[in-house]
Amino acid sequence: MKGDLFVALYGGPGGTILALSRAREIGDAQPGYQLCGCWLDNHLFLSAGKDAIAAGTTYEVELSLVMAHTTTVDEDIEALGRRALNAGEIVL
């Protein structure tokens, strides 16, 4: 679905945190992701491009987080991400 975003966080052979953000009602806003420049964390955000988002604007986004153990991290995570975006949920 337009606006859905899948991110694998802190990947490694001991486990990976998977995040699926599903836009419910975000109008013309676009979802985005970036690593924090100050701390070891991540930011999921909405952007309105060049336009400012008016004070009081509300958006509805569903966020699912799963901790998964994988053996071949890159191949497993890519496949999990594709399934999550196609199904609209994280399917292990």
pLDDT tens for the chain, residues 1 to 92 = 567 888 777 666 667 778 888 878 777 788 888 877 787 777 778 888 777 888 888 888 888 888 877 666 667 778 888 888 888 888 77
Report the predicted TM-score, pTM, of the whole model to 2 decimal places.
Answer: 0.66
Q: What whole-number distance in Å separates Cα of residue 29 and Cα of residue 46?
A: 6
Q: What whole-number distance in Å separates Cα of residue 43 and Cα of residue 55?
A: 20
Q: What whole-number distance in Å separates Cα of residue 83 and Cα of residue 54?
A: 35
- Domain ranges for the chain: 5-87
Segment (H or E) for 91: none
What pLDDT score does 72 carry? Answer: 63
31 near 25, Cβ under 8 Å?
no
